[in-house]
Amino acid sequence: MIYLMTDVIRYEFSGIDYAIRQRYRLFKEMGVPVKIISTIYNRFSDLNRFRAGIEAEDCVNMNDFFQQAVIYHGPRRTLTDLDFGNLVTPVRQARQVHYYKGRYRVVTVTLAKPDSGYPFAPDQIDKIDFYGHRDQLLQTDYYDVRGFLSMRHIFDEDGYLTTEQMMRPDGTVGYENTYQKDDNGHNVLQQTTLQTDDGLSIFTTRQELITDFLSRLQAIGQPAYFFADWPEMGDAPLFALPTHPKIIAVRHSAHTQDPNDPMKSSYVDRVQKEIDHPESVLGFVTATQSQATDLHQRSGVKTWAIPPAYNESALLEKTSVPLNRRKKHTIISVARIHPEKQLDQLIDALQLIQQQVPDVQLEIYGYINDQSYYQKLQKQLVETHLQDHARFMGYVPDLSKPFDQGTVLALTGYYEGFNLALMQSLAHGMPAVAYDVHYGINEQIKDGQNGFLVPLNDRRTLAKRLTQVLTDADLWQAQSVAAKKLAQTYSKAHVVAKWRAFLNDLQVPVDGKIQNK
């Protein structure tokens, strides 16, 4: 069994989430046993899974696992299932229903909001808040989107969380977290008490609980291979397993502290730890051949270079939208709003471009990962009088429309592992201008052919190259054709062949068979 590890199944998914989901779909099509495992409690996970087109039986969340709710087909609890006895007639306000005893509110029921065609029941319960006589919150019952009570929070008289109970669909407690307030007034986990068929277990850290979960999965799915993509999730729980797991370390960014000095700079902590555990880490999967070569040459660890995603055949066969049917002089940037993406430098370049192209527009697509940086960018636009020339478009799951309507893609990140937006934009025939950083960018952009590579942090050259593409129709046409041609490198067939070779190296059956080397 192959386990693709993540922390949570998100709605606003990142590039790493996208890569995991495409890998899942490829493995399913290839007949490889695969599941996506997550560790963070999220009562909306099944809704996000539904939106993403992932099969319910292929998702294993740690909390669901211990709550005996990995698969749930039971009833969905609704408002009609509630009976608060001697409470007066409820008062309904939109999606909330308030219950009173005399003039005091004692219960508020929040109802689920229909979303994405998911099969909610009418008046399905989302959560229930219970209040004391001073209107202080005493308890909150959170309902899983599938319709059962899944988590209960119990508060003290000062409103601090003391107990967190993770509930099973039958109403019993799967495990319980107890909290205590520290000197700064923050809730600190004291211990986790887990009840399983094996008996009672007590953990003092979340890592211990995750290790127990992974150990049980490892026993169920032998031989088990764990794909570790997310740096936030970490490898520590895997390394703590009593028997050595089989780990595939997937790199989505640079492996050294200085991304642009890969042979001398110190390894990032996670990579160093993975290199230090050869008994468990079978090797690294990188998005580009250049990173695979650098990492193997320096560490000696086995590496495979496999693009993290692919372009669908229908898109590669589709004719690109011509320049005269696109928005005029429109720069597209796709990046989460975070300092490492250096969008402030793109705004600096925009100021220079606007002097040559008065009607230039910049559209920035991506979720806000750093609120203070977002505010800094907004202030910068005002100070440079560019607020009418740049817009933050937010998170957009499908970027087909901006890639068909924009003129050129601009990327200013300090480092990359592989840029998924760039891969997709190529297939739409969109030229790109980007900083020449490790890794991926200089494999996806051939300087002067399908776009331009710019020295890192060189705002003036960035502005110059973007201006060229925006204003020279013949250049744009030539680079658009080259972009479409280079996009074939990231066809589904190409990526499947790479994964087949990888799985054969591990002796993992594909369609029930091991391919001959």
Of 79-83, 182-186, 275-279, which gets the smallest average pLDDT?
A: 182-186
Model confidence at 186, pLDDT cuts 50, 70, 90, reads confident
Least confident interval from 13-17, 49-53, 107-111, 339-343: 13-17
Task: Report the predicted TM-score, pTM, of the whole model to 2 decimal places.
Answer: 0.87
3-class SS letters over 345-405: HHHHHHHHHHHHCCCCEEEEECCECCHHHHHHHHHHHHHCCCCCCEEEEECCCCCHHHHHH
Q: Are 362 and 441 in contact (CB under 8 A)?
A: no
Residue 377 has a pLDDT of 98
Whether residue 415 contacts residue 259, with contact meaning beta carbons closer than 8 Å, is answered with yes
Note the pLDDT of residue 82: 92
Which residues lie closer than 8 Å to 379 by C-beta, 6 or more apart?
Answer: none
Give the integer Cα–Cα distance in Å for 130 and 6.
33
CA gap 135, 318 in Å, rounded: 61
d(CA 480, CA 508): 40
Q: CB burial class (10 A; 0-12, 13-18, 19+) of residue 411?
A: buried
Domains and CATH numbers, the chain: 2-70+207-305 (3.40.50.2000), 79-205 (3.90.930), 313-490 (3.40.50.2000)
Six-digit token pair at 253?
A: 């960014």
Residue 515 clears pLDDT 90, i.e. is over it = no
Q: Which residues contact 339 (CB under 8 A, 6 or more apart)?
A: 370, 373
Task: Give the residue-averaged pLDDT of 281-295.
Answer: 95
Angle at which helices 492-505 and 15-29 cross, to 10°:
80
Pairing of strands 161-167, 173-181: antiparallel
Residue 198 is predicted with a pLDDT of 86
- Read off the pLDDT of residues 27-48 as tens digits, 9 standing for 90 and up: 999 999 999 999 999 999 999 9
d(CA 482, CA 164): 56
What mean pLDDT is predicted for residues 435-443? 90
Residue 232 exposure: Cα atoms within 13 Å on the Cβ side: 8
Q: Is the pLDDT of residue 514 over 60?
A: no
pLDDT band at 231 (very low <50, low <70, confident <90, very high): low
Render pLDDT for 352-388 as a digit per residue (tens, 0 to 9).
Answer: 999 999 999 999 999 999 999 999 999 999 999 999 9
Cα distance between residue 111 and residue 126, in whole Å: 5
The CA distances from residue 216 to 122, 169, 291, in Å, are: 37, 21, 34
pLDDT of residue 233: 63
pLDDT at 517: 42
pLDDT tens-digit series, residues 466-493: 999 999 999 999 999 999 999 999 999 9
Average pLDDT, the chain: 93
At 303, the amino acid letter reads T
* Contact present, 118 and 104 (Cβ < 8 Å): no
Q: Is the pLDDT of residue 86 over 80?
A: no
d(CA 500, CA 14): 25
Mean pLDDT of 126-139: 93
- Res. 512 pLDDT band, cuts 50 70 90: low
* pLDDT for res 516: 46
The confidence score (pLDDT) of residue 513 equals 58
> Residue 435: what pLDDT?
97
The residue whose two tokens read 């990888």 is: 502
Instruction: Provide the percentage of residues in the chain whose pLDDT is more than 90.
Output: 81
- Which pLDDT tens digit goes with each residue over 449-471? 999 999 999 999 999 999 999 99
Residue 444: what pLDDT? 94
- Tell me the Ramachandran region of residue 409: left when phi exceeds 0, alpha when psi lies from -120 to 50, beta otherwise: beta
Predicted local distance difference test score (pLDDT) of residue 129:
97
Strand partners, 467: none
Q: Which pLDDT does position 71 carry in this prediction?
A: 95
> Which among 202, 153, 194 is positioned nearest to 65, based on CA atoms?
194
Beta strands in 182-329 (DSSP E): 187-196, 199-203, 225-228, 246-250, 281-286, 303-305
Gyration radius (Cα) of the chain, Å: 26
Sheet holding 330-334, edge to edge: 390-394, 361-365, 330-334, 408-411, 432-435, 451-454
